[in-house]
């Protein structure tokens, strides 16, 4: 993901105005026009850099659900010293890809040649690409949430392949429970229920009002990616053999 300097500057500038209290991004006309998703991604990056803290969902005074935040001591220092701020921003250059994200890209190539339902195959592949990009840029909340989406799609395919009825909006935990209840004879990582808790916690904390958002660790993101890859690869292999 490419981070925009003007958005980062506005987040810091607005945070200084309300320091040390929680800042509502919707109070900035500029951030309001940018939109919730891009602003949240920039707040997450500044949090990983240690410049903002206490990220939590709030109802914006000018409408919508936003991620509120406050400046850390480092962030407040940056707000008053352009030279220090520029030093932090210089660290935002794109990082080279690594073996984890490359393994996800390998999964993309595998998926292109698979029997994934054509109704959502393009979206499935695009989501895998987003996972790789998010991981490269240390956006672990997004990485984990997108892995959850891929797991839900894949587990739904497994359930339907075994002629079991499942609701179209069934969530990850429900899908895993459905597979266990029906004793589907397909291998799933025994740790998948715990993985689903990591995914659910990351998702829920990002949308529920007044709940702090812990930034997941790199190790948690890797654990979720590996679990997702295993399920997808086994499902693709099973589809190919049927």
Round to whole Å and give the CA distance between 158 and 213: 32
Residue with token string 């049927």 = 242
Give the per-residue pLDDT at 241: 65
Instruction: Tell me the two tokens of residue 207.
Output: 């949308």
| pLDDT exceeds cutoff 60 at 4 | yes
Closest residue by Cα to residue 131 from 165, 101, 93, 162: 101
pTM of the model: 0.60
Identify whether the C-beta of residue 118 lies closer than 8 Å to the C-beta of residue 103.
no
Q: What is the pLDDT of residues 112-140, one digit of tens each?
A: 988 888 999 999 999 999 999 888 888 88
Q: What is the mean pLDDT of residues 215-240?
A: 86
Give the per-residue pLDDT at 205: 55
Q: Which fold has domain 5-92?
A: Arc Repressor Mutant, subunit A (1.10.10)
Give the per-residue pLDDT at 128: 95
Q: What is the pLDDT of residues 57-89, one digit of tens each?
A: 888 999 888 999 999 999 999 999 988 888 888
Q: Measuring CA to CA, how many Å separate 209 from each of 71, 85, 113, 197, 234?
A: 20, 30, 42, 19, 37
Greatest mean pLDDT among 142-156, 161-175, 184-198 lies in 142-156
Phi first, then psi: give them for residue 23, nearest 5 degrees.
Answer: -100, 135
Give the per-residue pLDDT at 212: 56
Instruction: Tell me the two tokens of residue 208.
Output: 């529920």
Residue with token string 């480092």 = 74
Segments making up each domain of the chain, as ranges: 5-92, 99-241
């Amino acid at each position: 993901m490419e981070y925009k300097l003007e958005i980062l500057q506005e987040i810091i500038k607005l945070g200084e105005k309300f320091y040390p209290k929680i800042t509502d991004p919707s109070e900035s006309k500029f951030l309001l026009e940018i939109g919730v998703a891009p602003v949240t991604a920039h707040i997450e990056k500044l949090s990983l850099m240690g410049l903002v803290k206490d990220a939590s969902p709030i109802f914006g005074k000018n409408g919508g659900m936003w991620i509120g935040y406050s400046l850390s001591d480092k962030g407040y220092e940056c707000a008053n010293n352009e030279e220090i701020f520029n030093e932090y921003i210089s660290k935002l250059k794109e990082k080279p890809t690594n073996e984890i994200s490359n393994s996800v890209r390998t999964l993309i190539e595998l998926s292109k040649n698979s029997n994934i339902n054509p109704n959502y195959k393009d979206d499935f592949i695009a989501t895998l690409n987003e996972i790789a990009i998010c991981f490269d840029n240390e956006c672990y909340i997004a990485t984990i949430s997108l892995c959850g989406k891929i797991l839900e799609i894949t587990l739904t395919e497994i359930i339907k392949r075994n002629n079991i009825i499942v609701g179209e909006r069934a969530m990850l935990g429900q899908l895993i429970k459905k597979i266990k209840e029906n004793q589907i004879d397909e291998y799933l990582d025994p740790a998948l229920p715990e993985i689903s808790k990591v995914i659910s916690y990351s998702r829920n904390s990002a949308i529920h009002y007044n709940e702090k958002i812990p930034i997941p660790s790199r190790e948690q993101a890797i654990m979720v990616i590996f679990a997702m890859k295993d399920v997808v690869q086994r499902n693709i292999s099973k589809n190919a053999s049927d």
